[in-house]
Amino acid sequence: MGYKVVVVGATGNVGREMLNILDERAFPIEEIAVLASRRSLGTEVSFGDRTLKTQDLAAFDFTGWDIALFAVGSEATKEYAPKAASQGCVVIDNSSLYRMDPDVPLVVPEVNADAVLGYTKKNIIANPNCSTAQMVVALKPLHDRAKIKRVVVSTYQSVSGTGKDAIDELWNQTKGMYVPGQEVAPSVYPRQIAFNVIPHIDVFMEDGGTKEEWKMMVETKKILDPSIKLTATCVRVPVFVGHSEAINIEFEEFLDEDEARDILREAPGVMVIDKREPGGYVTPVECVGDFATFISRIRQDSTIENGLNLWCVSDNLRKGAALNAVQIAEVLGQKALKKG
């Protein structure tokens, strides 16, 4: 016995990864439907060794379907997620629309799996922002051991976080740097992204921070612990896939770097690669296609009493989005929607 699963936004980067991961993790599926906007109607997408034709989201009836993985923008989510939820289909939403809704659980299974049980209020579960997801996987085991007081994080986020147009822009701009007359002006970003970094992701807010930085702070508080103070600087870098983060942590009590490394080695979803030698760490190119949140450069921060630094890398299309959504579906199946 399996679940009747709908993937909404199946032609996008995240939607395609959701299908790949449902297949790779052998999620128990009785029937699957793939939906897209009218613009992409009929597009074929792969699901394991099958080819599926996308159906029209606007006309789809979610009645009788168990779980809908939403990988569309907030606008389409606003229109169709409540419809799916009201027709009895549990929505796992990757957009930012419901993340801070008090009646919608925001879940990273390695951190707060039990929160899934709160789905009954709106029949919706929210997936966190990609840069939050990998970070809280790293923070949770350390927080359990030595209670985190404050986090200072700088992110180095790949262009796939923006979408396909940004991937194309990085590719074409890079190519254009070598072919006279084929220069490509910035269009997706306010500045050139090839051979450059841009300290701006999402919109600017009143306090001078960006909405991406605000998301990391408020989502960490909702998922992990509201008492944690967090400040972030989120930067776009010329990398296709894989977000990296330099994380500085201040604890309530001292945590030795070796003990921290041992704790992280045992932590769910974490892969520690940490040797103090050239290449003894993870870079984005190694994380692509992997499920893990990689941790390197674990070391004391001796400038404060109870400080630790670490480097965190993960595939933003996987743990940052599609994998986390499928893991939520797995937990939902185990804890609430038992089949067979």
**Residues classed as catalytic:** 130, 243
Interaction between residue 11 and ligand 2RA (CB under 6 A): no
Region binding ligand 2RA by CB under 6 A among candidate stretches 111-119, 144-152, 156-164, 246-254: 156-164
CB of 299 to ligand 2RA, least distance (A): 27
Region binding ligand 2RA by CB under 6 A among candidate stretches 70-78, 123-131, 173-181, 252-260: 123-131
Amino acid code (one letter) for 257: E
From CA 316, how far away is CA 314, in angstroms rounded?
A: 6
Question: What residues pair up with 221 in beta bridges, in sequence order?
Answer: none
Nearer CB in complex with ligand 2RA: 107/308: 107
Site for ligand 2RA in 206-245 (CB under 6 A): 212
Interaction between residue 130 and ligand 2RA (CB under 6 A): yes
Which residue number places its CB atom closest to ligand 2RA?
Answer: 161
Give Cβ neighbours of residue 146 (< 8 Å, ≥ 6 apart).
Answer: 251, 252, 253, 254, 255, 306
CB of 158 to ligand 2RA, least distance (A): 7
Measured at the alpha carbon of residue 19, what is the angle toward residues 13 and 24, in degrees to the nearest 5? Answer: 120
Is residue 299 within 8 A of residue 141, CB to CB? The reply is no
From CA 260, how far away is CA 138, in angstroms rounded?
A: 10
Interaction between residue 173 and ligand 2RA (CB under 6 A): no
DSSP E strand stretches across 3-105: 3-8, 29-36, 44-47, 50-53, 55-56, 67-70, 90-93
- List C-alpha distances in Å: 250 to 112, 146, 294, 306, 308: 22, 9, 20, 6, 7
From CA 62, how far away is CA 48, in angstroms rounded?
A: 23
CB of 57 to ligand 2RA, least distance (A): 20
Site for ligand 2RA in 303-322 (CB under 6 A): none
CB of 213 to ligand 2RA, least distance (A): 11
Which one of 13, 131, 293, 327 is in contact with ligand 2RA (CB under 6 A)? 131
Interaction between residue 162 and ligand 2RA (CB under 6 A): yes
CB of 323 to ligand 2RA, least distance (A): 14
Interaction between residue 161 and ligand 2RA (CB under 6 A): yes
Confirm or deny that 192 is annotated as ligand binding: no
Nearer CB in complex with ligand 2RA: 156/251: 156
Q: Residue 157 is encoded by which pair of tokens?
A: 């986020």
First vs last Cα of the chain: how many Å apart?
A: 5
Which one of 20, 37, 95, 129 is in contact with ligand 2RA (CB under 6 A)? 129
Confirm or deny that 39 is annotated as ligand binding: yes
Q: Three-state DSSP class for 198?
A: strand
Backbone angles phi, psi at 235, to 5 degrees: -125, 135
Q: Residue 127 is encoded by which pair of tokens?
A: 């997936």
CB of 161 to ligand 2RA, least distance (A): 2
- Residue found by looking up tokens 């201040």 in the block: 250
Quote the distance between the C-alpha of residue 238 and its chain's center.
Answer: 19
Nearer CB in complex with ligand 2RA: 82/163: 163
From CA 260, how far away is CA 203, in angstroms rounded?
A: 35
Nearer CB in complex with ligand 2RA: 94/123: 94
From CA 172, how far away is CA 150, in angstroms rounded?
A: 40
Residues annotated within the binding site for substrate are 157, 236
Annotated binding site for NADP(+): 11-14, 39-40, 160-161, 316
In the complex, the residues that contact ligand 2RA under the rule CB under 6 A are: 129-131, 157, 161-162, 201, 212
